[in-house]
A and B are shown apart, each in its own frame.
Chain A
Amino acid sequence: MKKGGTKRVKEFVEPYTVVGALTKGNAITKISLLIMGFGNIAHKQIVKGIMFLAIEALYIWFMAVSGIYNLSMLPSLGWREQEKVWNEQKSIYEYTAGDQSVLILLYGVATIFLTFMFIIVWRDAVKSSYKAEVLARQGKHLNTFKEDIKSLFNQNLHKLLLAAPIMGVLIFTILPLLYNISMAFTNYSKVDEHLVLFDWVGLDNFKKILDFGDSIGKQFYSVLGWTLIWAVLATALNYIFGMILAIIINRKETHGKAFWRFCFVLSIAVPQFVSLLIMRSMLQQTGIVNTLLLKYGLIDTALPFFTNATWARATVIIINLWVGIPYTLLQVTGILQNIPAELYEAAKIDGANAVQTFFKITLPYMLFVMTPYLITQFTGNINNFNVIYLLSGGNPTPVDATAGKTDLLVTWLYKLTVDKNYYNLGAVIGIMTFVVLAIVALITYRNTTSYKDEEGFM
């Protein structure tokens, strides 16, 4: 489909551009602006030209059949309510199909999306026609269809290999994301019965969420605060304790290194949702931990692991250590062994003790190597749905609130959409999560050497 003239030159200079076709192209190329593939057909690239033409025909057919209607409905998102109509002939009530804003929005966004894709193909078609014209004028060889196919296995291999994965990402990641983002600007929610028909409301939802005075706004700031505290603590504690554990296991004098590692790695091998559900059931009010502690008289009343806000927050962080430390252990072990031994020997000769060696050699080295890993961990923790949802479920939740005391932005987003059907607020929370992560990523990614110096290795 895409057979532009990108050659593998340094700056990816494109000799055949749409502007070039507009200003310098001949009549045939200019007709190609309207009738895609015309230039190719005129220059005997029949199959290629017909494929372009077919895509144009398909697009026009789609727009005529439903595309234009979809777009025309987009501003209003529909207004016809479902109605009961008396059918004289059958003497029964029949329901007329009312408008469904969700579908109107989806089809509208999808149509815009398709149009955008069509423009990309159109640009390709124009470039291709112009290229054919220029090459023909210069008396150079024009690729036949067979040669085009061949080039897909050679210099254009990336087009062949990327076609399917990119289609997958476009349709099932980017399109849904755009669709969901567009929901943030509507009143699609259970409030005032807007689940079937809803309208655009502009930035109202954002105002509501960011407003300190509003109850939703208050919850947002409290959830955001806890999300950040959680992400920092979970990342930092996992990293520090994991590293200390790795160092202890790696000591020359420690026996049975492989056995110790196996004990810890075993907990990762068990699917996370299984171990988390087990933990949750163990820590319930009547769970095994409380029962045993009560039985042996160590406590008088059951410990409120998930019913008291502070307890719940401490519990999820500690259990997350159980989940996370083995991962750090795995990552750190290899890197620890790579620290040049001379550094430690030199430190020993200079009379440094274990603590000094750790803070002056091990930690700086690890931080240098593992910054990208830490950033991924941090973003992963902000989006750590599993640990919170499966352990505490975000509880304890105050009576009049939608967000619990241990809810992260992601779990709150889930509750708002799936449980409460506040789709619009859910979408806003999603966008906010993205904004938080994007800020973190922008500050850090850009400063890491591995991003700047990607080619340095090769």
Chain B
Amino acid sequence: MSNVNNAAVSGAKVRKKVVNVIVHIFLAILAFIWVLPIFWVVLTSFRGEKGSYVTTFFPKTYTLDNYVKLFTDTSILNFPQMFLNTFVIAIFTCIISTVFVLSVSYTMSRMRFKMRKPYMNIAMILGLFPSFMSMIAVYYILKALGLAEGSMIRVALIIVFSAGSGVGFYVAKGFFDTIPKSLDEAAIIDGATRWQVFTKITVPLSKPIIVYTILTSFMGPWVDFIFAKVICRADAQYYTVSIGLWRMLEKEYIDSWYTCFAAGAVVVSIPIAILFLITQKFYVEGMSGAVKG
């Protein structure tokens, strides 16, 4: 009797083990598929052979020339310039967007006024239009304001990336909603103004969501492709990295620039990946609320 029982138990154990092994193999295969393209582009960036046509997965020769060319050959596609452009634009975008997003989210979360619900509804409706439907129009408006030419293109890009950020307040508002209102009320009874409540109580309690907002708005210009393309047009001098990388794959450049594209992709991805992983940490913290119970 006890033997039979033992056999059943060990049978179940074996089956569990088999399932477990299968699950891990399955995960390994999937993880391999997910990492493969990233691994491949890293390999390509160190590849010695030029051109986009290769017959082996692993390069035959390894070199650092692609990185060197990317940062020194500035005659046709000036990557260092693009990198600098994007960096400057990202810094300003980040400052303006963060201020806008935090202001709007705090207002929507804490203040009660007549235009509040209408504003939130309008923001939702605006979100339903294809985001670049108005891009052509924005281009003409910027042109009418004298911002579509020369070095003003940088200003134009900053405006494009940050001006509309006032409608993207949902995440931060959700966070502010979790800060107990009793804190505000106590401070107001003690004679604090709303401004003081905002700067002295809400902001210090909101570190995760502020970091999250800063990083996401900083990443915007690095990963956007289409807005920059519409605004910059043929002015290669003011390109951001994404247009630059896209151009490297165009017919006239692909043969000499393909491996440099891979190098550029790696160079752009590393800081963004690091920022993203930090963002995730703060996002998770932000989602779990401001004051932990």
Partner of A6, one of B114, B265, B284: B114
Q: What separation, in Å, do the CA atoms of A245 and B130 have in the docked complex?
A: 31
Q: How far is the CB of B221 from chain A (nearest CB, A)?
A: 11
DSSP majority for the B interface? helix
Across the interface, which residues of B come within 8 angstroms of A410, CB to CB? 130, 132
B177 touches A433 (CB 8 A): no
Enumerate A154-180 residues with CB–CB distance to B below 8 Å.
Answer: 154-155, 157-158, 160-162, 164-166, 168-169, 171-177, 179-180
Across the interface, which residues of B come within 8 angstroms of A418, CB to CB? 136, 230
Q: What separation, in Å, do the CA atoms of A384 and B30 have in the docked complex?
A: 24
Enumerate A247-300 residues with CB–CB distance to B below 8 Å.
Answer: 248-249, 251, 253-255, 260, 263-275, 277-282, 284, 286-288, 291-292, 295
Whether A277 contacts B249 in the complex (CB less than 8 A), given A161-B103, A164-B103, A286-B53, comes out as yes
Whether A269 contacts B273 in the complex (CB less than 8 A), given A8-B112, A180-B134, comes out as yes
A 178-200 to B, binary, CB cutoff 8 A, 1 in contact else 0: 01100100000000000000000
Binding-face segment, A89-97, A228-236, A303-311, A434-442:
A434-442
Partner of A441, one of B128, B130, B230: B128
Partner of A264, one of B34, B219, B245: B34
B155 at the interface (CB under 8 A from A): no
Q: What separation, in Å, do the CA atoms of A265 and B53 have in the docked complex?
A: 29
A330 at the interface (CB under 8 A from B): yes
Q: What separation, in Å, do the CA atoms of A314 and B187 have in the docked complex?
A: 58
A18 at the interface (CB under 8 A from B): no
Whether A385 contacts B37 in the complex (CB less than 8 A), given A6-B113, A155-B194, A263-B31, comes out as no
B217 at the interface (CB under 8 A from A): no
B 84-117 to A, binary, CB cutoff 8 A, 1 in contact else 0: 0000000000000001100110110001111010
Q: How far is the CB of A383 from chain B (nearest CB, A)?
A: 5
Partner of A292, one of B27, B57, B261, B272: B57
A74 at the interface (CB under 8 A from B): no
> Which A residue's beta carbon lies closest to that of B198?
A157
A430 touches B133 (CB 8 A): yes
Whether A255 contacts B24 in the complex (CB less than 8 A), given A157-B198, A174-B126, A265-B280, comes out as yes
Whether A175 contacts B246 in the complex (CB less than 8 A), given A248-B26, A263-B31, A438-B128, comes out as no
B144 touches A430 (CB 8 A): no
B53 touches A169 (CB 8 A): no
B126 touches A177 (CB 8 A): yes
> Which A residue's beta carbon lies closest to that of B120?
A454
B213 at the interface (CB under 8 A from A): no
Size band of the interface chain B makes with A: 35 or more
Across the interface, which residues of B come within 8 angstroms of A174, CB to CB? 126
B129 touches A385 (CB 8 A): no
Q: What separation, in Å, do the CA atoms of A154 and B33 have in the docked complex?
A: 55
Q: What separation, in Å, do the CA atoms of A175 and B145 have in the docked complex?
A: 14
B236 at the interface (CB under 8 A from A): no
Binding-face segment, B66-74, B75-83, B158-166:
B158-166
Size band of the interface chain A makes with B: 35 or more
A 93-108 to B, binary, CB cutoff 8 A, 1 in contact else 0: 0000000001100110
Partner of A457, one of B114, B163, B177, B261: B177
Enumerate A377-431 residues with CB–CB distance to B below 8 Å.
Answer: 379, 383, 385-386, 389-390, 409-410, 413-414, 417-418, 423, 426-427, 430
Extra A-B contacts (11), CB below 8 Å, given A165-B165, A175-B141, A249-B27: A168-B166, A176-B134, A176-B138, A177-B126, A179-B137, A251-B23, A266-B38, A269-B277, A275-B37, A330-B280, A410-B132
Interface residues of B (CB under 8 A from A): 16, 20, 23-24, 26-27, 30-31, 33-35, 37-38, 40-41, 52-55, 57, 99-100, 103-104, 106-107, 111-114, 116, 119, 124-138, 140-141, 144, 159-160, 162-167, 177-178, 181, 193-195, 198, 219, 222-223, 225-226, 230, 242, 245-246, 249, 258, 261-262, 265, 268-269, 272-274, 276-277, 280, 284, 287
